[in-house]
Amino acid sequence: MVSSPTDDVTDETVWACRTTDPHLAHELLTLMRPGDLLRIGGHLALPGPGDEGGPRLDVDALSLLAPAPAMDLAETVLDRYGPYLVVLNPETDTVPVFTETGAWVGLAEHPDTITDLIHAHETGTRSTPNPDQKG
């Protein structure tokens, strides 16, 4: 986690975090994006004898306060959403989504709907055909 109390990069602090709640880990790895403004609750754990590194935050609460600002893309970008990969193309709003193994997930109608498509894929509630495959 990067704590940024001001807009100045010199004020940023990087914290090592951990959680024992698999739901929090899942949310962070699949639903949150770099740059999202998050509220993270937990307690500070100081290093004990033999521990390497500094203090860490044991996280027990996570909430999204504001999504990351939309990126203005100048070229096609491959981005990761946990175990999913997306292809962001500045020339179109639609976003192809694949698993990291290359399996087709679907076509998000807009970058804001990527997480909805991933959730639907994980729950088995929606599937869209791969436009490159011949049927």
- 8 Å CB contact between 109 and 86: no
pLDDT tens per residue, range 16-60: 888 899 998 888 877 787 778 888 899 988 887 877 777 888 999
pLDDT, position 11: 74
Provide the pLDDT for residue 82.
Answer: 83
Model confidence, pTM:
0.47
Going by pLDDT thresholds of 50, 70 and 90, the confidence category of residue 132 is low
The count of other CB atoms within 10 Å of the CB of residue 29 is 13
Least confident among 43-47, 71-75, 109-113, 127-131: 127-131
pLDDT digits (tens, 9 = 90+) for 92-122: 889 999 998 889 999 999 888 998 999 999 8
